[in-house]
Amino acid sequence: MEPAAITLNQTSQVFELPGRTGKPLYCRQWGDEQEARALVLIIHGLGAHSGWFEAFGSRLAMRRFGVFSFDQVGFGLRKDQTFNSRSQWQDEAIAVYNHVAGLASGRPVFLMGNSMGALVAVKICRLLNPRPGGVAIFSPGFDGFPGRFTIPYKLKAVATALISPDTELALPYTVDDITSNQAVRDELAQDELKRLTIPARMGLELLNFTNELKKEVQSLPVPLFMATAGIETIVDNRHSERFFEKVDSPEKTRLTMDECWHDLMFEAQLPRLLDELEPWLVRNLSST
């Protein structure tokens, strides 16, 4: 039986993979990959880290999926590792995917991403071999919510990146904007691995990354599942809708969580998200 409370209290196993810079990639795993019907790799977004998937990963593991994630460079257990360019997002995600695929023994690996991590998932999908069983994106960050990522904010971020790229810029939101779940907010406030400031260089690279992605990705070779929050003030859902409508995919499944805030994995409606996601996963178990 799945637990009722949403919490960051970790049940994951932490392990390391070698990174290209000589510093480790810190990863997490939920569930036994040998007993799983399929494996899942999910990528976190700005400010977050792989541990934020505790509620999602542990519950999906109870449904017999092996779930993996990793800390992107500059976040989580890798807060002290230097971010240089957007190619790191792609290269590291591919490296972790290849590791997970090596454990799959012919079973599909599903690629997932949350917020900015959804963009990384979409970006690398066509580059992967073996091909994923499908791509699931949650609250994708194709653009920032205009009331927060204002034109003055973006102009300041670009100017700072050009003049002083290592200067830290505060993200224009707090943990109180991520979820409506007060208990989770309290945990996030105490989370020493979160990072709600980023180097200006990273902000500029993200802007370039999103602009490139919206232009170049016209199709996906695998089924697509997209879920968005109905009460969204961090990303701009209009851009997510445009992407979903225009992109070609063998199968597209759309879910709107009307009562949820940005991070669907922290909301009380998480069981519904999993109940909608699991049939999509099962339906595509034989797609690879």
User: For position 6, what pLDDT does the model report?
Assistant: 86
Residue with tokens 């070779």: 221
User: For position 122, what pLDDT does the model report?
Assistant: 97
- 235-259 pLDDT tens trace: 999 999 999 999 999 999 999 999 9
Cβ–Cβ < 8 Å for 227, 256: yes
Enumerate residues 6+ apart whose C-beta is below 8 A from 220: 122, 125, 126, 135, 247, 248, 249
pTM for this entry: 0.96
Cβ–Cβ < 8 Å for 260, 269: yes
Residue 64 lies in a domain: yes
Residue 4 lies in a domain: no
Residue 3 lies in a domain: no
Tokens for 101, please give them: 């695929």
Residue 224 lies in a domain: yes
Residue 141 lies in a domain: yes
User: For position 1, what pLDDT does the model report?
Assistant: 60
Domain encompassing residue 106: 13-281
Residue 8 lies in a domain: no
User: For position 288, what pLDDT does the model report?
Assistant: 52
How many domains are there within the chain? Answer: 1
User: For position 10, what pLDDT does the model report?
Assistant: 85
Which segments in the chain show pLDDT lower than 70? 1-4, 287-288
- Indicate which CATH number applies to the domain containing 110: 3.40.50.1820
Residue 159 lies in a domain: yes
List, as one string, the DSSP characters of 166-198: T-EEE-S--HHHH-S-HHHHHHHHT-TT---EE
Residue 288 lies in a domain: no
